[in-house]
Structure 1
Amino acid sequence: MQWLPFDSPGAQADALAAAVAADLKQAVEQNGRAVLAVSGGRSPIPFFERLAQADLPWRQVTITLVDERMVPADHADSNARLVREHLLRGNAAEATFVPLATHPEDEAR
């Protein structure tokens, strides 16, 4: 493992978004599709916002979560809400999102 120091959290988020975008693009080129599983919480927000701006074939990308809280999808603590608000924006909104949990009240929406 290599230690990579960054001047700021923003620089770290930029580098991570660039690396993940490159991997997603390569996966789509090689396999026709790519899957990205992300964590929730507040820490990934800067990364999500930068990745959302990446020039990717988003329609060929599926995004899911590795963790979730059992709250309604629009609850402030919902990781699905976090992904929808901070990652699935602009062109990235074309990605397929597969949440970990479904709620009966979500079916009515």
Structure 2
Amino acid sequence: MSIYLDLQVAVEDDSQLPSEQDFQTWLEKTISQFQSDAELTIRIVDQEESHQLNFDYRGKDKPTNVLSFPFEVPPGVEINLLGDLVICKQVVEDEAKEQQKPLISHWPIWWFMVHFTS
């Protein structure tokens, strides 16, 4: 099994972020149920970038917890590139606080399950 994660952290305050190994573990546990090889980019962003992307791609004038950009493989191309996930750190932190749950339990692969397997 070969699951490649490109983790991009584009926030000034990277405290309280799960480690790259946490993301890799969550990804492997989830993807291995569907396929043996894959590549995914996860980009952790601030509210400003999330807001802009959410507006540009969904017409929503606010930041959001996660945006997914699945990659559609052209016919005849053999690549297991799943696409990109853009996660807003502040929104995830705010949601965890509102839901009174530990922050680390709000990060795991729920966003992947919802955005790439449905």
Same fold (TM over 0.5): no
Instruction: Provide the TM-score with structure 1 as the length reference.
Output: 0.25
Higher strand share: 2
Higher helix share: 1
